[in-house]
Structures are given as structure tokens and as C-alpha cells.
Amino acid sequence: MKIKVKISRLNIEKNIQLEKGSTVMDLLNKLKIKPDTVVVISDKSPIPIDENLKDNQKITVIQVSSGG
């Protein structure tokens, strides 16, 4: 299945091929992004890393920062 991903920090969009039944975590692994460093958005709402993705789903990956 194909997922359209926007990585906000880098201001790029990619089409990513994943196996049917893949999760947000599978997507992040393929992109080599640590899940604790981002928030993943679909349809203007955050989604958990264990959620299954759908074919042609549009995802936005937003970098979060922490520290003091």
C-alpha cells in the first residue's frame, strides 16, 4: 500500500510503500525516525504508533522538542 507522508521539519513530502496491515511504527521505522521524537497526524488528529494505516492515507510527521 502507498502512504503519503509529509515531514514538517524537513518540509518534504514522500510516497512510501508499505505492506498491507502496517502500523505507524512500521512507517517510522522505514523512515528511520524515533517514535518518541515526533507526533504523527492524520486528518488533523494525532494517531497512536500502533494504529494500522490505510492505503493512500495522508500522514504528517511533526518533530517535537523538549528540554530546558
Written as one string, the DSSP assignment of 14-40 is EEEE--TT-BHHHHHHHHT--GGGEEE
- For each of the chain's 68 residues, which pLDDT tens digit applies? 999 999 998 899 999 999 999 999 999 999 999 999 999 999 999 999 999 999 999 999 999 876 55
The pLDDT value recorded for residue 61 is: 97
The pLDDT value recorded for residue 13 is: 95
Instruction: Report the CATH number that the domain containing residue 10 is assigned in CATH.
Output: 3.10.20.30
The pLDDT value recorded for residue 9 is: 81
Domain enclosing residue 50, as ranges: 2-63
Residue 6 burial (CB < 10 Å; 0-12/13-18/19+)? middle
- Looking at the structure of the chain, the number of domains it has is 1
68 part of a folded domain: no
d(CA 61, CA 11): 10
The pLDDT value recorded for residue 10 is: 82
d(CA 39, CA 7): 11
- Residue 19 CB neighbour total at 10 angstroms: 8
> What's the pTM value of the predicted model, to 2 decimals?
0.89
